[in-house]
Structure 1
């Protein structure tokens, strides 16, 4: 395994950073979505006063790890990380002010905290009864959120190195690697887990950090089933109308089942969209995955950006969210439908859309090419309008009035 790690490190392009700070244009739309709430990982948020309380727990986790291994010194870990310090430092796009010793100390403490935390999510016997992180589910969930923030990352090869160095002979997870354990816990945060099998072994060779692992493990389920679907005029991105506007021309919506969240299809005036649960974590997750795609466009398919753009087309207002809820496509766990609409409308603000990597060009073209006949269009519009209770009552009243008038006229004719 040591040789595998060495090959992994040597195979990277020297001084090619892949851990960035989010730029101001993205950050200003929702700054809190990129900021850790409880734990700082890596140098960008290191030393922040509001995150100091977790530093005590980091040290405690490191001590527990050493005690479990009957070790009293961190010397061997420090020596290993010193050898990787220059490579790890070059992974960050911004200059790091920490000197060599402080940088190595940060990697050791942060890395062992992540490893111990993820181990404890899988091995409950390792959790102390008085551990507040596992006594309150909310704390555990917030830590999981912080671990997948774009700026809050350690290079994955550092985690792999520490994980393999701290395996115990009696550890029943010796046949698992850090990627599997991370996906087992963090993968639950994805809005749709179809296609993500945490038990399936994945190679760490091409992953940069935990957020990158999440992105790459989530995306292939769609990529494998649609290698040739992005066809048509890719230089021109013509967006589509909202859900309620499309309903007016006769397009129907259905919930797609047993498929990836990204697998949106349109055929014979029916659009099939997988369901998504929108909760308090959804915006943060999407924003950080979109930021990842924005900064890695040379090798990264923009599935999340494309999905967010497509849903933004379909959702212009709370009425569109209400319609998608009625089809089972959106499960809303926010305050109201207006909150969901606002979230999707702002997700791609200041985001660059790579048209050649936009994975729904084929769907957009088919929808825009759909032309219902005159009668079908009028019928669809009437059917849509009748969904409004007031319109339905007005139509019903009008029909009753016409029927009554007809009866009166017939009665007068008969009497005459």
Structure 2
């Protein structure tokens, strides 16, 4: 290579480096699905009728039918707002071009005018489509979207594809401009504002930002209304922003004893998602639906936590004696404090008298001898909201501490963290154990016994008369647990809990182990609960678009920063463990948990099993269904349930096997009877 060619090549690289823009993680939210995930089912990520955004070829999707329809909708929108030109909208979107381009990770080859035109046509089409669903908005009798039911379902499907999105701020900008040109704020179509909302808006009329928030919130409600009328969301119970209430997390915070590190995270997530819903702060339409599903799952977990706390208060052992002790302590415990205050007061009075001041001795106790602790609500996440809701500062501090503690727990190996928290081992002991275990593992496996020895000692220690002896050799890493300060009883529970932290058996095996299945009453599709041998699962309808919606929600979670909101992925993992074969699908259908509209049970089981292919799962993330899985595995590990499962699997798995067992029992009885009679004779 000549010197001139080399120099030009170096300059070209320098220009590329100079042209790089800084990565803004908050803006960059729209990716293309990687090839491994796409190849599992390519059709699930491709639009069939409607192309939105720059990632899909608009002229090829649906033979370009919807491109002309977008122009018709734009014309109808201008007519509805009494406008003759798109100039104002085009100029407004041109100002958002750079920000919108930054949302897409892939390189976009469209020119400025092409990109802005794409945003204008796609955005106005979506908004006009939402408007047409309102009864007061006149519809075109010749509009095929409303003439053919299947077409609306296909459009709803395409609007929720991960690669088929517009930035939500583009939609909100267009929506506010359209609304300002169409109607005053007090009249919002079919969604009539109630008195409370009217008063709120009236109070905020002077604030443009407040008016904008109301309009943006309404756009979110229109979007949810559109999707809730389409398959499969008709059965998913996705509700609008008006259904959001922060009372449940506040109520749990008032029950300071109920707050654990995982629950503190759930409370924080609930308040965080609640802010998104109230302010309609979404990345795109798929993010909006994901947020509403996530909020419903968090609601479900808070309901259970509150229920557990209330039941624990009512039926806790020794609760009567506790109340008596509390009454006595209220009378007795203030006495030492009063005596101490009196001593401090007298000392303080002596000092004041020496300085020449005179006053009544009774006034001594009015002085704040001990400085009052400053309540720094700004140091607590959502401190202002907690304070307004009546949460005491001490309880709010505990919520903050448990939330930070949860972040430390996430540094531990997932199985260790779950097991330690399940048996009640504190964070300090768990950290000491993890640290000492890490040191010992680096010492060439020194003092590490083989699995056979551990199992032998463990079985030996199960004898009743040896059960109470603290034999630390029966526990893997027993020495480290002892040095970390873990009690022997909790160490045994920790060992047993770690043994059962594994994927749950499939539905057929669970039935053999005595687990009963029940259709849950909650509307939330992702509601799963296990109690007293009964597994309650909300019904799921498996139809043509179910896989597409689930796959795109999972893809959105895969590309979320730190993979911190994987509620759909957790649900997919649980259902994947539960369904291994067509028999499992048939069993769940019999119990009303699944509605298989695909017809073939094998097709449904294959679909569920493939949802997890090439899906990354965070090793240190606490699954929201972890406690349910632990309880189920603990139930199945009981000896009687194992024996029942072996009997059913080996001897009662078919009518012929049952008949052979009964025949063998009959023959054995006859043989015993014959032996008895022969002895008598």
Same fold (TM over 0.5): yes
Contact 1:234–1:361 (8 Å) recurs in 2:
no
Q: Which runs of 5+ in 1 are unaligned?
A: 1-11
Alignment of 1:79 with 2:91, yes or no, is yes
SS in 2 for 1:144: helix
Q: How do residues 169-318 of structure 1 correspond to structure 2 at under 5 angstroms?
A: 169=183, 172-173=189-190, 177-188=218-229, 189-190=232-233, 192-194=235-237, 196-197=239-240, 200=243, 202-226=277-301, 235-236=414-415, 238-298=502-562, 300-318=564-582
Q: By percentage of residues, which structure has more helix?
A: 2
What is the aligned residue count?
Answer: 402
Alignment of 1:358-369 (within 5 A): 358-369=623-634
Match in the other structure for 2:147: 135
Corresponding residue of 1:351:
615
Gapped regions of structure 2 (runs ≥ 5): 1-22, 194-214, 245-276, 306-405, 416-500
Deviations 1:253-280 (A, max 9, x none): 2221125222212223222211111111
What CA distance in whole angstroms lies between the structure 1 residues aligned with 2:651 and 2:588? 17
Give the TM-score of the pair, scaled to structure 2.
Answer: 0.54
Q: Distance in 1 between matches of 2:45 and 2:636?
A: 43
Match of residue 42 from structure 1: 53
Q: Is the Cα–Cα contact under 8 Å of residues 37 and 146 in structure 1 kept in the other structure?
A: yes
What is the match of residue 345 of structure 2? none
- Tell me how far apart the structure 1 counterparts of residues 147 and 623 of structure 2 sit (CA, whole Å): 43
Task: Please give the alpha-carbon distance, in whole angstroms, between the structure 2 residues aligned to 1:141 and 1:38.
Answer: 10
RMSD of aligned Cα (Å): 3.2
- Helix, strand or coil at the partner of 1:277: strand
The answer to whether the 8 A contact 2:525-2:540 is kept is: yes
In structure 1, C-alpha distance between the alignment counterparts of 2:593 and 2:26, rounded to whole Å: 44
Could you list the per-position Cα deviations for residues 58-110 of structure 1 after superposition, in whole angstroms to 9, with x for gaps in the alignment?
00000011112221100010111111111111111111111111111110000
- Counterpart-to-counterpart distance in 2, 1:165 and 1:234: 51
Match of 1:92 among 76, 88, 104: 104
Distance 1:119 1:262 in 2: 30
Q: Secondary structure at the match of 1:219?
A: helix
After superposition, the Cα gap between the structure-2 partners of 1:135 and 1:253, relative to the gap in structure 1 and judged at 3 Å, is same
**Inter-partner Cα distance in structure 2 for 1:14 and 1:410:** 82
1:329 partnered with 2:599: no
For residue 374 of structure 1, report the CA deviation from its aligned partner.
4.4
8 Å Cα contact 1:194/1:258 also seen in 2: no
Give distance in 2, aligned partners of 1:275 and 1:192. 8
Question: What's the offset of the Cα at 1:50?
Answer: 3.5
Alignment of 1:23-172 (within 5 A): 23-51=34-62, 52-123=64-135, 125-167=137-179, 168-169=182-183, 172=189
In 1, are the aligned partners of 2:507 and 2:578 still within 8 Å (CA)? yes
What per-residue deviation string (whole Å, max 9, x for no partner) do you get for residues 297-344 of structure 1?
437410100000110001110001111111111111013111110011
Give 2:655's aligned residue: 392
Greater C-alpha radius of gyration: 2
Q: What TM-score do you get using the length of structure 1 for normalisation?
A: 0.86
Which is further off, 119-128 or 339-348? 119-128
Counterparts of 2:147 and 2:176, CA distance in 1: 28
Is the 2:526–2:571 Cα contact (8 Å) retained in structure 1? yes
Question: Shift of the alpha carbon at 1:148?
Answer: 0.6
CA 275–101 in structure 1, closer or farther in 2 if over 3 Å, else same: same
Equivalent residue of 1:271, what SS? Answer: strand
Q: Which moved more, 1:199-208 or 1:153-162?
A: 199-208
CA distance in 2, matches of 1:365, 1:36: 40
Instruction: Give the 3-state SS of the residue equivalent to 1:298 in structure 2.
Output: helix
Q: Pick 1 or 2: higher relative contact order, CA cutoff 8 A, min separation 6.
A: 1
